Amino acid sequence: FLEMVSNPKLVLVQGTLNVVMKQNVTLSCLSEPGSPPVRYTLFKHNQQVSALNRSDLSPALFTLTISSASDAGEYKCKAETNNSSGGKYSNSLNFTLLEPISKPVLSSPTSQAKKGQNVTLSCFSENGSLPITYLFFKGTQNISPQKTMQKREAAVIFLFINSLGDFGTYKCKANNSFPNNTKYSNGFNFTLAEERSHSQTLIISLGLILLLLIIGLALAIPFFVIPLYKASE
């Protein structure tokens, strides 16, 4: 009695679905029940990767090396016997390639600030597998909850410059699922914007008034002084 193959089960027996470059993974494909011999074929999307024949009820083991981004993606296997038509397909397993993050860049639209001003800081790592988690620091103290970005965009925080103590060196750090891959940004400092004193403001105002009087006098000469001079001749 020959038993037809059932839909095989594709199982990861070595490694993880989140893989790093040059990592080995092993997949097991088994149709149970199913009368041997059974031919197992592994596919990535619709492209055949490998095929194995089993003359007993043992699973087919496929070992892969994820050596590039093209090796990641969805895998399925197919089981078929000499007496089956078309074969049966398994569930799919999807591999994601983890890439290390690059050093994040900490920046702000302004480098000068004064007390009582709101400012923003943004932290961005251009490369690396998503999601990426960011954390902001002033000195060695973190100043915000961690921000996990699911898209390739910067994490932004808002700060209120309340005192001179808020002027100092800020940094951020970034990490993702890639093992042992935490990167710190450059340091960023806000400088205190100079504020004009009341006396400076008064002097500037008086200077502008004097300048306007001189310009007004110069414009008035052709209309008043010259006609008076001609009339006295």
Per-residue pLDDT tens over the stretch 32-90: 876 678 999 999 988 999 999 998 889 999 999 998 888 999 999 999 987 766 789 99
The pTM of the full predicted model, rounded to 2 decimals, is 0.64
pLDDT tens figures, 161-172: 888 878 889 999
56 touches 34 (CB < 8 A):
no
- Per-residue pLDDT of 157-216, as tens digits, reads 999 988 887 888 999 999 999 988 999 999 999 988 765 544 555 677 777 888 788 887
Task: Specify the amino acid at residue 135.
Answer: L
| DSSP-assigned beta bridge partners for residue 47 | 44
3-state helix, strand, coil in the chain (%, to 5): 20, 40, 40
Query: Which amino acid is present at 230?
Result: K
Distance CA 181, CA 2 (A): 53
pLDDT band of residue 1 (cuts 50, 70, 90) is very low
The predicted pLDDT at position 195 comes to: 56
Q: What is the pLDDT of residues 94-123, one digit of tens each?
A: 999 999 999 999 999 988 888 888 999 999
Dihedral sign from CA coordinates of 135, 138, 144, 145: positive
Evaluate whether 22 touches 66 at the Cβ level (below 8 Å).
yes
Domains of the chain: 9-97 (2.60.40.10), 105-192 (2.60.40.10)
Question: pLDDT value at position 197?
Answer: 45
214-223 residue pLDDT tens: 887 777 777 6
